[in-house]
């Protein structure tokens, strides 16, 4: 296994089916539509591999929205520190998580995006649906916490995690279609598993990228179908990863393959085809807060992507280290 599973049984902390259909509670755009956000976390994925396999759905999201590619060096390239940074907006040097063995303690001082949204607007509905069970440690921390926190149950004989990710994606599609939460975060893990088992330069890694792209396409299709059915809602899809992988497999160091990072932002607030090298995983929480009308955290290390100027059309090919802000 790529990481030790720490939450026994991968219990669903709260069942999505038990919630009523979400009513519009978010901040309206100038056109009167209510903003909604889906954040897709793809563990261990490198953008250059998306290009290599010509993954149609991820490339389409990039073309229809804004793309930033950069380096997260000197941040720790391990899942626990990185997903904590995604969901808090502060680097590892602040939240203090250095590996995958952690509890909810850091999120009392550095609350997650779920807590920050709920404090700003208790009417907002937030969901976390993840393959990796330690995501639940983050999403269920704090007061208030995410409204729905689900860790997908492990699937027998699923060595490459392709089946468990399908189950996770199924639950995400259901949540979007039936409940339309104001903010939903999902985590899919099989690319990271392939990297650990076979290496970032392997065909198995590329196969995992191709499979994960299909799941991203299903989630995006659910968002688009709901947006068509409910024109009063304005949906944004954000996509990011936590780290890359060495060609021979593994991560945790500071090589370009391990520190590579990307953010895709597709929605009515982002110009299609814009690219730059300024935004990374630390900017996700500030962007979500901005989209949903919550005040920025003055202690955040990230900044909202909504403040970005229109960029150049095309794909950024050179990764520019940004260091720790």
- Residue 55 covered by a domain: yes
Contact 195, 205 (CB under 8 A): yes
- Residue 325 covered by a domain: no
- Residue 186 covered by a domain: yes
Q: Per the structure block, which two tokens stand in for 235? A: 């949906």
CATH of the domain at 49: 3.40.720.10
Closest CA to 56 of 275, 260, 215: 215
Output the CA–CA distances (angstroms, integers) from residue 57 to 50, 51, 83, 226, 269, in the order listed. Answer: 10, 11, 23, 18, 20
Q: pLDDT tens per residue, the chain (325 residues)?
A: 344 333 333 334 334 333 434 444 566 666 789 999 999 999 999 999 999 999 999 999 999 999 999 999 999 999 999 999 999 999 999 999 999 999 999 999 999 999 999 999 999 999 999 999 999 999 999 999 999 999 999 999 999 999 999 999 999 999 999 999 999 999 999 999 999 999 999 999 999 999 999 999 999 999 999 999 999 999 999 999 999 999 999 999 999 999 999 999 999 999 999 999 999 999 999 999 999 999 999 999 999 999 654 443 333 333 333 332 2
- Residue 176 covered by a domain: yes
Number of residues that make up the chain: 325
Over residues 116-129, the pLDDT tens digits come to 999 999 999 999 99
Q: How many CB atoms lie under 10 A from the CB of residue 34?
A: 21
Measured CA to CA, the distance from residue 118 to residue 125 in angstroms comes to 8
- Residue 211 covered by a domain: yes
Contact 22, 213 (CB under 8 A): no
Closest CA to 204 of 245, 156, 253: 245
Characterize the bridge pairing of strands 148-151 and 126-130: parallel
Q: Please give the biggest Cα pair distance in the chain.
A: 50
**Total number of domains constituting the chain:** 1
Beta bridge partners of 263: 68, 240
Q: What residue numbers bound the domain in which 260 lies?
A: 8-308
Measured CA to CA, the distance from residue 13 to residue 225 in angstroms comes to 28
| pTM for this entry | 0.89
Contact 97, 44 (CB under 8 A): no
- Residue 252 covered by a domain: yes
- Residue 324 covered by a domain: no
Characterize the bridge pairing of strands 274-276 and 34-42: unpaired
- Residue 293 covered by a domain: yes
Say what the pLDDT of residue 31 is: 79
Say if residue 70 is preceded by a cis peptide, omega within 30 of 0. Answer: no
């Amino acid at each position: 296994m790529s990481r030790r599973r720490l939450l026994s049984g991968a219990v669903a902390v709260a069942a999505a089916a038990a919630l009523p259909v979400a009513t519009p509670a978010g901040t309206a755009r100038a056109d009167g539509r209510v903003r909604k956000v889906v954040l897709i976390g793809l563990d261990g994925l490198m953008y250059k591999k998306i290009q290599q396999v010509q993954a149609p759905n991820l490339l389409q999201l990039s073309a229809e929205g804004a793309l930033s590619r950069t380096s997260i060096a000197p941040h720790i390239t391990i899942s626990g520190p990185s997903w904590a940074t995604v969901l808090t907006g502060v680097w590892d040097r602040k939240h203090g998580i250095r590996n995958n063995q952690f509890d909810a303690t850091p999120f009392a001082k550095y609350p997650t995006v779920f807590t920050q949204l709920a404090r700003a607007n208790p009417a907002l509905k937030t969901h976390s649906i993840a393959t990796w069970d330690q995501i639940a440690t983050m999403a269920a921390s704090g007061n208030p916490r995410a409204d729905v926190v689900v860790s997908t149950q492990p699937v027998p004989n699923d060595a490459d995690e392709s089946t468990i990710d399908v189950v996770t994606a199924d639950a995400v599609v259901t949540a979007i279609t039936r409940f339309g939460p104001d903010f939903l975060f999902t985590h899919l893990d099989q690319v990271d598993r392939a990297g650990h088992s076979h290496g970032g330069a392997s065909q198995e890694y590329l196969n995992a990228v191709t499979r994960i792209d299909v799941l991203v396409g299903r989630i995006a299709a659910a968002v688009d179908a709901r947006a068509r059915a409910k024109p009063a809602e304005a949906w944004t899809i954000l996509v990011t990863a936590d780290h890359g992988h060495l060609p021979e497999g593994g991560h945790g160091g500071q090589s370009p393959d391990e520190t590579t990072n990307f953010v895709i932002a597709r929605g009515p607030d982002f110009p299609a085809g814009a690219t730059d090298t300024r935004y990374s995983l630390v900017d996700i929480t500030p962007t979500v807060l901005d989209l949903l009308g919550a005040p920025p955290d003055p202690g955040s290390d990230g900044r909202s992507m909504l403040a970005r100027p229109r960029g150049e059309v095309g794909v950024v090919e050179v990764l520019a280290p940004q260091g720790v802000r």
